[in-house]
Structure 1
């Protein structure tokens, strides 16, 4: 995948441990050129949120030339489901659901559970995040952005590149830039 071994590469990953050596090998990126931002979901939920802000700072402060959004197949953060099971949270969740349904654009549609637990399909979430980064007005056009899904079955890892099939015209207006 990567050819220039001296360029800095940023990996936006979920909280899965042990991904760095696999990503180094697959992308031919030396450890000293590898930057990682971890979150509970590797996706970018908002083009002007904290994770996107960190991506932009990394690009400019560390001279990042390539960004990989890396998800883990069939792994979902259970935090949201745990919160939904707490009896003390039920009233708060019901209130938040009301806000999500009736107070747009502050809450981006759907339900609280959808927001908290993220997208069911990791490939779609990664593809959306790649498009948000690629078309963000503060991300330079020379920065390559790719999506990867790490699939680990029976202790063996394989990586599948997620194609970016969406065009800028399919993105919301606030994502258009170049």
Structure 2
């Protein structure tokens, strides 16, 4: 169980597919009206000046958020269907014209595959997101940013690990 101020607004960055709101409320003991969630399709990946980061910054300043959790589900085995869909998207990108590929490369920190699928290592992906948020010039230094890994065994969610990183 996390020990958070029930009256404090807490921001959770989560995967849109996972439906983690219930377990997050349970383990954080935060009232539902104080839980803010930004959902992303697939693993949370951040760009310092992308849409998700803009939403994080606005939430911090408009909602007076003092605590942020980057949440990921520990999925050791991705489904074959989701891998097939990602491969199809990658094929479409490879077949696109040079202008599209060059404009994508201009905005990516890594490869198109990294951008599309996120990092394979859940802890590494979370650490990268926590670092980006914690070190962003528009995020006040008093905002605490942590990672949270959740397991889903037999349809039941549980907290696997709370990752605290020092800046």
TM range (shorter): 0.7 to 0.9
Residue 132 of structure 1 and its aligned partner are, at CA, apart by: 0.8
- 2:101 is aligned with 1:81: no
Other-structure match for 1:135? 135
Q: Unpaired segments of 5 or more residues in structure 2? A: none
User: Is the 8 Å Cα contact of residues 11 and 68 (structure 1) preserved in structure 2?
Assistant: yes
**Residue equivalent to 1:147:** 147
Runs of 4+ with deviation above 6 angstroms? none
Structure 1 residue 134, shift from structure 2 partner: 0.9
Shift in Å, 1:104: 6.6
Aligned-partner Cα distance in 2 for 1:107–1:89: 14
What's 1:60 paired with?
A: 61
The 5 A counterparts of 1:67-146 are: 67-74=68-75, 78=82, 79-84=85-90, 90-92=94-96, 95=98, 99=102, 106-110=107-111, 112-146=112-146
Give the structure-1-normalised TM-score: 0.77
**Structure 1 unpaired stretches of 5+:** 168-178
- Aligned-residue offset at 1:107: 3.5
Report deviation, 1:42: 4.3
Q: Report the 3-state secondary structure (helix = DSSP H, G, I; strand = E; otherwise coil) of the residue aligned with 1:64.
A: coil
Match of 1:174 in 2: none
Indicate how the Cα distance of structure 1 residues 96 and 11 shifts in structure 2: closer, same or farther if over 3 A, else same: farther
